[in-house]
Structure 1
């Protein structure tokens, strides 16, 4: 779908140092927040949705709370990708996105 231009992971203040290091080692920018991570994800996504240099918005979540973000991205002419894990991957989110990537939970 193209070259990744912006790659961010929003984590709460209790994220273990090992997770933060893993995020950095994968080339992602960790964003640590003291409050609600959903709010920060929405802010970051809206900045990209209104950036004319960005053509595709990919969001890794299974939460239907992010449906308005997907809808706004599409309204602004962006292609949308939703990456999620079952169980609990919102059907509404899947139906709204242009592309869906379903991941499977690791079995113990």
Structure 2
């Protein structure tokens, strides 16, 4: 049976256009059950969706020992949800909005997240 949790990305840019942190209060931290554990939790998928404007998110995952390299996820408002399967052993996920350029001011449009275990 599938299990899921959903929510919204906080308003405000957590990262500037060069990837540097503006402030952590604009980020979201998800503490999650480790995916892909046989007999405990199944495969896990993290999805994002945006409306009205395209959004760039920085996603960083922690495997219980260290933070993995951050990756930028471009969420296009005209597309369906943007989903990726989580690697085995992930325990925390940090997500924040990224300014796409110096003129980017769209820091408060709706961006939702969905965490699914299948």
- Superposition TM-score, scaled by structure 1 size: 0.24
Indicate the structure whose relative CO is greater, using CA pairs within 8 Å and at least 6 residues apart: 2
Structure richer in helix, relative to its length:
1
Please state which structure has a larger fraction of its residues in strand: 2
